[in-house]
Structure 1
Amino acid sequence: MAHYAIGDIQGCFDELAALLAKIDFNHGRDTLWLTGDIVNRGPKSLEALKFCMKHESSVQIVLGNHDLHLLAVLYGHGSMKRRDTIDTIVSHKNADKMRDWLRAQPLLVQSGRHVMTHAGILPQWTVWQAADLAAEVEGKLRGSGAAAFFANMYGNRPAAWDDGLEGDDRLRFIVNVFTRMRALNADNSLDYEFKSTLSDMPADLHAWFDSPERRHLDHTVVFGHWSALGLIDAKNVLALDTGALWGGCLTAANLADHSITQEAAHSRLSL
């Protein structure tokens, strides 16, 4: 039995199928983590989502920002964007079933010394605190107030964590950490603008995993979201978004030994 993690699919379903064939993945024997952003921008969002639903006994996802965007659209609180490829889901006869399955998925999963979120974990949070905060949002997503949650999900404020945050501000910040975080300011507040490589990062910013205050070094954080990083296996992080959508590759890591298998992109998204 093997346990794999694969980076952001974003509708690149053909690459996923080819990568699973390369690692000889067996749904009755092996398990798979997917780092979120299952859908959007790639050509086969519907197929990727249906795959996850069909194989939920062997495949575990976490929600990414594009998955949440799909949910917001399905609840009538998000607008379709020019490059979105979620229309086949939104117009599907089983869209409500897909919506309800997706909103039941977590923001964080943990197994042994590995923990997975879409974008990372705020440096000052322990894994256990992060799990509790993820559960707060998950409760809202799975409950009767989901529509109200999506009505207030979008926004960049507040930018910094405070234990006293309440209501929509608290939920929004937690979501932004788990699904949008990349670079932080010196005070560990979130910077939402920087999306490039580490070598291009301004001196007044740092990657969330380069913070000297990290309180979750007892785990390896498996994440995606930041395709410009490429593959990183260091500093107790395993970054797996290697830009399949942009002409890079889709990456699988065996979590037993962090051995890597990759499938080159079959096509490239036009900018």
Structure 2
Amino acid sequence: MNKFQEMDENIWVIGDVHGCCSSLEKLINKNEIFNNNYYKLWFAGDIVNRGPNSLKTILTLMNLDDKCLCVLGNHDIHLLSVASGISKLSKKDSFDDILNSKDYKHIIDWLRFRPIAHFQYNHLLVHAGVVPQWDINKTLSLASEIESLLRSNNWRKTLKKIYGDKPNFWRDKYRGNDRIRLITSVFTRIRLCTKDGHMDFTHKSGKGYHPNWLMPWFQVPNRKTSNINIIFGHWSNLGLLITPNIICLDTGCVWGGKLTAMRLSDRKLIQIQCDKIKK
């Protein structure tokens, strides 16, 4: 028996929802998910924005209570930034229903208390990825730094520090704004790196359609988390990827692709075909 089949929870990991609540409802109402009393849903972040029902989506997750575990994605952090007045609502944003909700303050507080990373059963759940210089202990420690800042009374000041593409290479000596910005970029934005681990934020293509001096973060040589199963989303151009220790579940739901759930114990998949959102 696979050791993950001995888990006392029926865990399903779900890719980027992006406010596509109708697809999410179809997915989580599948009988396979509710086949015992110990189910739990892990979400890989970007639960809001771009899709038509950000408010209903986030309320659905909140109503799941302790059945739901969700790491923060870049779009979720963008919502926090707009809510705090740090960033402006753009024409592409579709979470004004949250901003206008009577439950607005409660929703924002719930969101900023979500984890940046979650590690259990030798599986690490993050939104985007990790840099090769971090082992699992360093990864969880640095995630905890950002989580503590977002949960503090001064969380709005933290959001002022996270935007920008530099620095893009990890150094233990970083402190202050550079440290906060780099850590947040790793967990919520990383896709491609150079072979020595410098992050590139200008290219988003997957499946080899990027400059040959770049590679997916998980292919960088000597990555210190190579012994850990890592599950992430964020990269719809990469799409569904399941290898022995790397799993991408962003299958482009909001772009007319699919919303994907994977059972942790045996990697069984459930997918819902989604309608492309017209903007």
Whichever residue aligns with residue 258 of structure 1, its letter is R
Of residues 57-66 and 212-221 in structure 1, the stretch that sits farther from structure 2 once superposed is 212-221
Confirm or deny: 8 A CA contact 1:250 1:264 kept in the other structure: yes
Distance 2:264 2:111 in 1: 25
Q: Deviation per CA, 1:212-254: give whole Å up to 9, x if none.
A: 1211122110000000111111151110000011011001101
Paired residue for 1:96?
Answer: 105
Distance 2:163 2:186 in 1: 13
Per the normalisation by structure 1, the TM-score is 0.96
Among residues 156, 180, 189, which one is paired with 2:165 in the alignment? 156
Q: CA RMSD in A?
A: 1.3
Q: Answer yes or no: is 1:55 the counterpart of 2:64.
A: yes
Q: Deviation per CA, 1:12-62: give whole Å up to 9, x if none.
A: 111111111225433942011000001000011001111111112101000
Paired residue for 1:36?
Answer: 45
Paired residue for 1:165?
Answer: 174
Confirm or deny: 8 A CA contact 1:23 1:261 kept in the other structure: no
Q: Using a 3 Å threshold, how does the CA distance of structure 1 residues 242 and 23 change in structure 2: closer, same or farther?
A: farther
Aligned residue pair count:
270
Confirm or deny: 8 A CA contact 2:42 2:70 kept in the other structure: yes
Distance 2:193 2:65 in 1: 34
- Structure 1 runs (4+) deviating above 6 angstroms are none
Pairing 1:186-205 to 2, within 5 Å after superposition:
186-205=195-214
Whichever residue aligns with residue 15 of structure 1, its letter is S
Per the normalisation by structure 2, the TM-score is 0.94
Q: Quick one: percent identity of the two aligned structures?
A: 37
DSSP-derived class of the 1:57 partner: helix
Of residues 232-241 and 167-176 in structure 1, the stretch that sits farther from structure 2 once superposed is 232-241
Among residues 157, 174, 183, which one is paired with 1:174 in the alignment? 183
Pairing 1:1-271 to 2, within 5 Å after superposition:
1-26=9-34, 28-234=37-243, 236-265=245-274, 267-270=275-278
How far did residue 91 of structure 1 move? 1.3
Q: Which runs of 5+ in 1 are unaligned?
A: none
Whichever residue aligns with residue 253 of structure 1, its letter is M
DSSP-derived class of the 1:31 partner: strand
